Amino acid sequence: MGGVRLRVKQAFCARWWLAAAVFVLGAAASFAQAPQAARTSEHAASPWTAEYFDGDALCKDAAIVLGTANASMWKPLSLSPSTPPVVRDNALWVRIARADMRDADMNGVAVFAGRRIATVYHGFETNFSSNAPSGTAPNSRRNSPMADPDVIDLPNPWPAGRFWYLCVASPHPIASWFLRLQPTTIHREVTTHRARVVVGCFAVMLTMLMSALFFGWTLKDRVYLFYVGHVSAFMVFQAVRNQLVSYVTFPWAWIASLVGSGLSVLCAWHFLSEFLLVGRTLPLLDRWLRRLAWGAFLASCALPLIGSFLGPRHSVTVVVQAVMNALTVVVCAGALVVVVVLAAKRQRFASYLLLGWTPLFVVAVLSAAEIITGTVQPIWAQWVLPAAAFESLVLSFGMAARTLDLRNERDVARRTAEIDPLTGVLNRRGVFARLEQLQADVAGSDRRHALLYCDLDFFKRINDQHGHDAGDACLQHFVACAQSVLRSEDAVGRMGGEEFVLLLNAQGESQALAVAERLRAKLHESAATWRDTVIPLTASIGVAFIDAQTPFATALSKADGALYRAKDEGRDRVSVA
């Protein structure tokens, strides 16, 4: 049995490393296509030029922006990622000219990199009226489920010598804007690559989540449920961040993002605490980090409400957001310290968390640094989802290893509870458990199982003459003889003292009698040996049967009666109920 378990564990570890290697190689191969797409976009000759309005003007100020007196307010807008972005609040006016009219049929798009756009007003100068553009006018659109939240199609055909104006409004304040003009083919190439990576990562996380949900529900183990909460909340957070739910408008997208991040942190710490039993090894740190995780979650729930009533720039909103971010950082840092400490103590499950969480933690920190510094073309943000998918994969294997250990412990405990320590066969509890199985097997069928009730003759005399150690040796000798005449599907159990029960699976009367007679004869012909003392043994055996009409309790009583009849008739014989 130990060799089988060792091979199972070795195969388990081999599959784990193979799956991890395949995932990492697949992610690397997928991302290897991104630089090629970027180079294609960078070296493509852009037929458009862009300018931005360097003044205070909201989207409702169309007359001001289109006025001829403010021509000096239009400044060149570089489309290179290496230049600083345009700093504006939540609205930006841009005008685009078609510099190269030779390829009049080239379709293009304007991409506001990483910026969620709520409303877009666009058109040539003669399409705009002097009044504020209407949200339902032909030259405006709002986000719909099928519209990219950061992409605007450029007009085609394009009249020569005409400017195309657009004003974009964000659902919440944004520190800076960066515009990228691309041919439609290049944009589709980049978008397809990004969609492939995002869908692949979400597929991995969703698969691991569904597996954990199934095992958590089946095993009633809340560690799996905390893992489900962590991954599902993180997926909601990333779905909003990656604009997979573009039809969710502000403030609902903001609410889902904030609450999702807070719930993910809360469930992540509870999962870690239960998974590594931190409450036993580091109880004080566990209590404090639980409180901080709850604080981060409550702050994430309160922030959207406060922001909706007081505004995103209100001092209270800013303070609550700072508190939420600080608590999140402290909980994540504390979790990483706990994992490192327990991994250094050679706790096996901590190594799973260290392997799974370290890449995500590093990428998240670098991505946050890019956001704080206002990096125009972030490098690490695109690695958050692959790192999260890798984390979910590693943690799922860690929980599988934990479940395997728990099952082994449960099997050992069950075996200890149902096995007689002296003889190694079933004890009374194990016998009744097996009888219940046999009873369920014959229900509603014509199947029949035999039950042999055995008692060693004059066993008290053996104990009195040779001692209890000799009696134990005789019991072990009887078990060896019984096992020699039984099949692998049969069982033997000790009811107590010198009484044993043999359970014969699907045996008729003649077959059961033959087994009982072989056992009686073998025991009669072979003697037990203890300290060079030969002790003759005989046994009386009563036979009964379990079927659909005879429950096991009745069969056990009948076999016991047949046993005593065999004793009354002179012992060392078989009697049938």
Residue 279, Ramachandran bin (φ over 0: left; ψ between -120 and 50: alpha; else beta): alpha
Contact present, 565 and 575 (Cβ < 8 Å):
yes
Count of alpha carbons within 13 Å of 493, Cβ hemisphere only? 21
Is 561's pLDDT higher than 60? yes
pLDDT at 315 (0 to 100): 82
Q: What is the pLDDT of residues 536-560, one digit of tens each?
A: 888 999 999 988 888 888 888 999 8
Tokens of 541: 């055996």
pLDDT at 251 (0 to 100): 58
Task: Round to whole Å and give the CA distance between 527 and 534.
Answer: 6
Q: Would you place residue 454 in the very low, low, confident or very high pLDDT band (cuts 50, 70, 90)?
A: very high
Residue 142: enclosing H or E segment and its boundaries?
strand 140-142
Q: In the chain, what percentage of residues exceed pLDDT 90?
A: 7
Is 514's pLDDT higher than 60? yes
pLDDT at 58 (0 to 100): 78
Token pair 């072990």: residue: 476
Is 2's pLDDT higher than 50? no
Task: Average the pLDDT over each of 74-83, 100-109, 163-172, 393-402 and give the range with the smallest value.
Answer: 100-109
Q: What angle do CA 208, 212, 218 make, to 5 degrees?
A: 150
Contact present, 109 and 41 (Cβ < 8 Å):
no
Task: Round to whole Å and give the CA distance between 494 and 477.
Answer: 13
The domains of the chain, with CATH numbers, are 44-186 (2.60.40), 191-413 (1.20.1070), 428-576 (3.30.70.270)
Total Cβ atoms within 10 A of residue 347: 17
Is 327's pLDDT higher than 70? yes
Cα–chain center distance at 142: 36
**Position with higher pLDDT, 116 vs 165:** 165
Which of 80, 108, 100 lies closest to 185 in space, CA to CA?
Answer: 108
Token pair 């964000």: residue: 170
Is 19's pLDDT higher than 70? no
Tokens of 246: 């573009």
Mean pLDDT, residues 118-134: 61
pLDDT at 157 (0 to 100): 79
Return mean pLDDT, the chain: 77
Q: What is the pLDDT of residues 37-54, one digit of tens each?
A: 444 444 445 788 888 888
Q: What is the pLDDT of residues 170-206, one digit of tens each?
A: 655 555 667 778 788 887 787 777 778 888 888 888 8
Mean pLDDT, residues 421-434: 88
pLDDT at 477 (0 to 100): 92
| Residue 296 identity (one-letter amino acid) | A
**Position with higher pLDDT, 546 vs 139:** 546
**Position with higher pLDDT, 550 vs 473:** 473
Residue 215 main-chain phi, psi, to 5 deg? -70, -35
Q: Which 8-state DSSP code applies to residue 154?
A: P
pLDDT at 340 (0 to 100): 87
Task: Round to whole Å and give the CA distance between 235 and 432.
Answer: 49
Mean pLDDT, residues 205-228: 84
Mean pLDDT, residues 345-367: 82
Tokens of 207: 């698969």
> For the packed helices 2-31 and 33-43, what is the interaxial angle rounded to 10 degrees?
0
Q: In the chain, what percentage of residues exceed pLDDT 70?
A: 77
pLDDT at 73 (0 to 100): 86
Which of 258, 108, 121 lies closest to 181 in space, CA to CA?
Answer: 108
pLDDT at 68 (0 to 100): 66
Tokens of 476: 């072990």
Is 140's pLDDT higher than 80? no
pLDDT at 29 (0 to 100): 44
372 by Cβ neighbours in 10 Å (0-12 / 13-18 / 19+) ranks as exposed
Token pair 């971010």: residue: 325
Whole-model pTM: value is 0.60
Task: Round to whole Å and give the CA distance between 215 and 395.
Answer: 14
Is 440's pLDDT higher than 70? yes
Count of alpha carbons within 13 Å of 322, Cβ hemisphere only? 7
pLDDT at 37 (0 to 100): 41
Mean pLDDT, residues 465-473: 90
